Every structure is written in C-alpha cells, then in structure tokens.
Structure 1
Amino acid sequence: MTPGKQRSGGRARSARTKGLTVAVTGPTGTFGAGLVPLLQDDDRIDRVIGIARRPFDPAERGWTKMEYRQGDVRDPDALREAFDGADVVVHLAFLITGNASRETTRAINVDGTLNVFRAAAAVGARRFVHASSVAAYGFHRDNPERISEEWPVRPAARLFYAQEKAELEHLLQGESASAPELDLYLLRPPVVLGPHAIGAKDVLPGPLAPLGRRLLGRPRRLPVPVPLLVPSHPLQFIHQDDVGQALLLCVVGAGPAGAYNIAGDGVLTAADVAREFGAIPIPLPAAPAQAAARAVSRLPFLPPVAEWIEAAGRPVIMDTTRAREELGWEPRYTGLEALRDTLREDR
C-alpha cells in the first residue's frame, strides 16, 4: 500500500454481533464522554474495560458495564492483562498539551499507542480503533482546499501534536500489516466541542485560545472589539456526541476498516467564533497574516503552545463523504451547533 494511503472497502470483521467486550484506554476524557454512554446503552456490548492511570469509579458515572483497570500505556504487560478477553480495543489516551516533557509526551503518545496496538493483537482482539486527528494531514501549502482520505498524511513542520499523529498513522499501518487478524480503524476529527469536552472553551486555534478564555471571563456578553490575526481562517468543529457515534460505528458497525474523516456540517471562520463569544472582530488582511503565522512557526525554540500557530498558516478542511457512505455516520450537530452547545450558560 502506498505510504499515506488508507484502506477503503476492505474487510470489516466482528467476532459476533452480541456479547462484545470492548476495552477503552482514556475512558474519562473528551472522546470517552461521547463513546462510553453509547457502549453502556448498546445491547450488543456486554462488558466494557476502562483503562486509566488514575482510579475512578465507573458506577458513579452510571457506567454499570465498565470494569476499571489501572494501567499505563507505557506498560505493555499491564495492557495485555487488562485487555484479556477483549473483542475490540478503542485507544483514546493521548497528551495534547500540558507540562510534561517532550520525552514523556512521546513515550505516551507514540510508544504508548504502539504498546496498545500490540497488546490488542496479542490478546486476539478483532478491531483496533484509534482516535487520530485532522492534524495528521499537516499544514502544507499544497494541501487541497478540501481533503479526502486519499490524500496522504504528512508530518507538520513544527507542531509536535500534528507530527506525532501523522507518524502514528504510518506506524500503525506497518503494525497492521503484521497483524492481519486485527482490523485498524482511524478516525480524524477536527476540534472537538461539547459541554463535557476538556478544554472546550479553547475553541480558537492554539495561540488564539487565551482570547476565548478572556472573553468568557467577561460579564456576558458585552460587545468587545477584538483584532484577530487570521479572522477568515476556516474552521471545522465536531460535537463530542458525534465523535462518540463514529467511534461506536467503528466498534460494532459494518463499515470497512480504514481511515475516516469526521466533522460537523458547515465551515466557520475565526471571526464567526469571536462573534459567538460576543466579540466584534476587527479583520486584518488574510494573506499577510497567514504569511506571518508561517514565519513565526519557523522560529527556533518555540515553546510547545506557540507551535500551534503553524495551524494558522494553512487551513485543513476535510471531506466527510466516506464516513457517511461507508461507515454510515451522520452528525447530529453542525459545527455551529457544537460551538453553541459548548458556550451555553444554562448548565
């Protein structure tokens, strides 16, 4: 298979249609909040194994099917023990930001993901579902205006998160070739929003996130003039519940193994987002702003959070046709509805 290409129309196996055991790494994060309630309510799922480093009580969340297993993705033996009897493994544990060193981040994100895949293969699981990202495509100037899954994933120039997502997709394809009985599903969502999304208020890209926090901290909602570096920068969003539904279809659906773009309908701009926060965007010329973003992203010794400015240099907008036609997925929320559900005050 050509590097970067993803399978379509291939095999789609399940050990059985009822009584499945599903193991989930990182079940308490944003993606888990969308998926686990669906597993709980699905009659085809008998048992859910939740693997996390920090103890939690599934029953307190209403997850009566789930058994908690303490484990670290850096510990292959613990993973194999936790996955024993699993038909499907869903890997959601991943560091996006934080204070961890680059070495620790890579040990969890890259080495840990490979550990999870190999443990799933070792216990005889039939499906492996990995939460990738739109960032896997990289922010390259020759990217098409709308990207389908046939476009290759390529590491970004500087942004570590995008680099690791692209690298992992290539590594997992190699691992999959040596484990033909384990079907590999890759989901590529954009920014994930929703009432329980971790960091959901940070809906502007990377270095623009503090703008959102400052606006939300104001008395709602005084119109505040805000200059935006790239007001016309297009953005796709997806609701956490729609991510959960796509993950569920990878777990129990009839769709073939491979990569799937998922996003809510509609494309917003940074200015649209600012207006939803109650701001009055002050536009700056798009081309010079994007050129400035590319120039800043090439500066040496950027701190990790500043690397996100690379995402403003070239938009990445996905075509979600394959997920709709082959996975049978349809989003319940548009991108704008996902944003508004995140910003609702009546909670």
Structure 2
Amino acid sequence: MSPAKRRGAGRKPSGGGRGLTVAVTGPTGTFGAGLVPLLQDDDRVDRVIGIARRPFDPAARGWTKMEYRQGDVRDPEALREAFAGADVVVHLAFLITGNASRATTRAINVDGTLNVFRAAAAVGARRFVYSSSVAAYGFHRDNPELIDEDWPVRPASRLFYAQEKAELEHLLAEESTAAPDLGLYLLRPPVVLGPQAVGAKDVLPGPLAPLGRLLFGRPRRLPVPVPLLVPQHPLQFVHQDDVGQALLLCVLGAGPPGAYNIAGDGVLTAADVAREFGALPIPLPAAPAQAAARAVARLPFLPPAAQWVEAAGRPAIMDTTRAREELGWTPRYTGLEALRDTLDGPR
C-alpha cells in the first residue's frame, strides 16, 4: 500500500467509553486460534461476532464474548446483518488448499473479500483488518534480498494463491479510496505455524495434503534421506500466537493503517526444516534440479500443488521493522521455535 494510503494513527471507535465490538470472519481457522483468545482476554473488547458457514459453539471453546452468526462471504446481505454494530471487522476466511474449483476459490477469496470490506464500510466500522501474505510480493528475480512494505506487490507468474493475494491488495486499496473513514490494515505473514495451525497440517497443498498431515502427525521424525531441490532456500515462519498479537494490535489501532510485514526472528533453510523432522537432507545437483524446476514451471496446465514450485525460484524474505516500530509488535517465537511448537502437536 502506498504511503498516501497510510492515514493517521488508529482512531478510537465511536460509542464513548464502551469497549470494541469486533466481527471476525473465519474465526475457527489458524489465524482465529491466535486472535480470538486475545480478544476474549482483552478488557478493551466487549463483544466478538464470529461469522462462519458451519455452525460452532463459541462457549465450548471458552469464547464467552463471541456470538456466532452463520454467514457466507459470498452473501453481502448476510454480512451486513452480521456486522451490525461492529467497530472493527477482521477478515480471516480464505481458501488455500482443497478440491474447490478455481471459480469457487475466486468467488470466496477475491469476490468474498470485497464483499466483506464493503459490508464493513456500510455498517460504519472504523477499521478493517485483512491477512494478506508474503506471496503478494510475487517471486520475481528483481525482488530485493530483504523486502519492506514499500516494495510493490505484484502478481506471481503461475501461483494462483499469490496472484489472488496481490490482486486483492490492489483492489482493497481502490475500495479504500471510496471509504476514507474505514482504516485498512494489511498483514503480510510467511508460513504460519503452531500447535493448532491448519496451515501446518495442510502445508503441502492439494493432492499432497495427506503427506503433509503425516509429516506433522505422530510419529513426527523420519530418519530417512530426503532429496532436496534447493536445500539452502531461505524460509521465514511465524507462530500463530504472534500473528494473533499482530492482528490484535491492528484491531486496537495501535499503529496507523497500512501494510505490515510480520515474521518470526531468524531465517531457516529447507535443509534446516528437513533436519527438524529427523530427515537427512541430500542436496541434488544444482543444474539438474534447477532445470527440472524450470521445466515444471513451464508446463501449460500446472495442478495447484505443482504451482508452488514458483515459490522456490526466488526467496521472499521480509523486513519486519515497520511492524515493530509502528505497531509495537514483537514476536515471542523465532521461526525455529514456531516449527518446533508445531511438531510438538496440539496443546
């Protein structure tokens, strides 16, 4: 988001001395697991509205502030009804993997996100918090070694998830010009891990998801050789609890609206990750490995799982200075600790 979009510091919601009412789409997912307990424990939040397609019992999770509202992000009227009275809307509902068609995925991810933003503006919410991704920067050869928020977000070549994230940031910036009273906050995390991380169980997308669940389940160590295309490929991770804390700071308007990179301290390599599983990383010869990756990337019709080969072509490592200085965010977990906490399993 351009500096011009970064309007003044977060404003207090209307309503005098009352606490915030916060509406959350997708509250039962990975990011919700990090955010909702913080909303529950924060005295500045009086009420939480949880919007999801499938019914769930907030009280069974200890979320006594939350009221469940059944809703679909593809239904604008249902969203406006659910958001009534909300000071802040946090949009976490998003499809990453699964068997949904491209049309269904776009209807939920792109059209649904715009529906949520417009409904938030229609009910007079003061802040809109959206979880974007490091993938929004794209995996381009001219990306800097360390990316800050002033670097442009650009569509990836083949990876549709990254394309949608970049497109949505541009679309939300356009929508924001027509809703100047709705502060737009964008978080750009890398891979989110943690003991309840849905993304961890499905870290291998599409048809490879069962393998991902096997790797992150018991037994968790694989003392076998694992060939790696790019063993030194750098990776950032962030813990779900640290994402929750960043989301909470945006909810409270701790810093000015705008985009914020967040990531745990430290940069790991693919070989480091393999070793954490107890595997023995075996580097493949660089030239054949790169040739194979390029050949896969050039295939005319890549299945969703194979599209992720593009992410291995160019590292995307983020500078998190802005989130620390302007939001006051400090991660509790390093990237390595986030990975290990995931491997330790559900709490």
TM-score bracket for the superposition, by shorter chain length? over 0.9
Aligned-partner Cα distance in 2 for 1:279–1:36: 35
- 1:244 and 1:217 mapped to 2: Cα distance? 24
Aligned CA RMSD, in angstroms, stands at 2.1
- The answer (yes or no) to whether the contact 1:206–1:309 under 8 Å persists in 2 is no
In structure 1, C-alpha distance between the alignment counterparts of 2:279 and 2:261, rounded to whole Å: 31
Residue 223 of structure 1 deviates from its aligned partner by 2.0
What whole-Å deviation, never above 9, does each CA across 1:202-246 have from its counterpart, x for those lacking one? Answer: 557999877655555685545211111111111000000000000
CA contact (8 A) 1:83 1:120 kept: yes
In structure 2, relative to structure 1, the CA distance for the partners of 1:221 and 1:94 (3 Å cut) is closer
Q: Counterparts of 1:308 and 1:206 in 2: how far apart (Å)?
A: 11
Deviation at 1:201, TM superposition (A): 4.0
What's the CA shift for 1:305?
1.5
Conserved 8 A contact 2:134-2:316: yes
Among the aligned pairs, what percent are the same residue? 86
CA change 1:210–1:229 in 2 (3 A) is farther
CA distance in 1, matches of 2:135, 2:29: 19
Runs (4+) of structure 1 moved beyond 6 Å? 204-211
Q: CA deviation at 1:309?
A: 1.1
What's 1:296 paired with?
A: 296
For residue 103 of structure 1, what is the aligned residue in structure 2? 103
- Aligned 8 A contact 1:34 1:245 in 2: yes
1:343 aligns with 2:343: yes
Q: In the alignment, is the contact (CA less than 8 A) between 1:86 and 1:123 conserved in 2?
A: yes
| 1:67 alignment counterpart | 67
Alignment of 1:219-298 (within 5 A): 219=219, 221=221, 223-286=223-286, 289-298=289-298
Partners in 1 of 2:27 and 2:306 — Cα distance? 28
TM-score (norm 2): 0.93
Deviation string 1:288-334 (CA, Å, 9 cap, x unpaired) is 53453243122111111111111111110000000000010000000
Residue 325 of structure 1 corresponds to 325
> How far apart, CA to CA, are the structure 2 residues paired with 1:218 and 1:83?
40
Question: 1:39-118, aligned counterparts within 5 Å?
Answer: 39-118=39-118
Look up the SS of the partner of 2:251 in the other structure.
helix
Q: How many residues align?
A: 344
Structure 1: how far apart are the matches of 2:288 and 2:150?
Answer: 31
Residue in 2 that maps onto 1:14: 12
2:172 corresponds to: 172
Shift of 1:283: 1.1
Report the equivalent of 2:184.
Answer: 184
* Paired AA for residue 69 in structure 1: R
C-alpha distance in structure 1 between counterparts of 2:122 and 2:306, whole Å: 39
Distance 1:125 1:190 in 2: 28
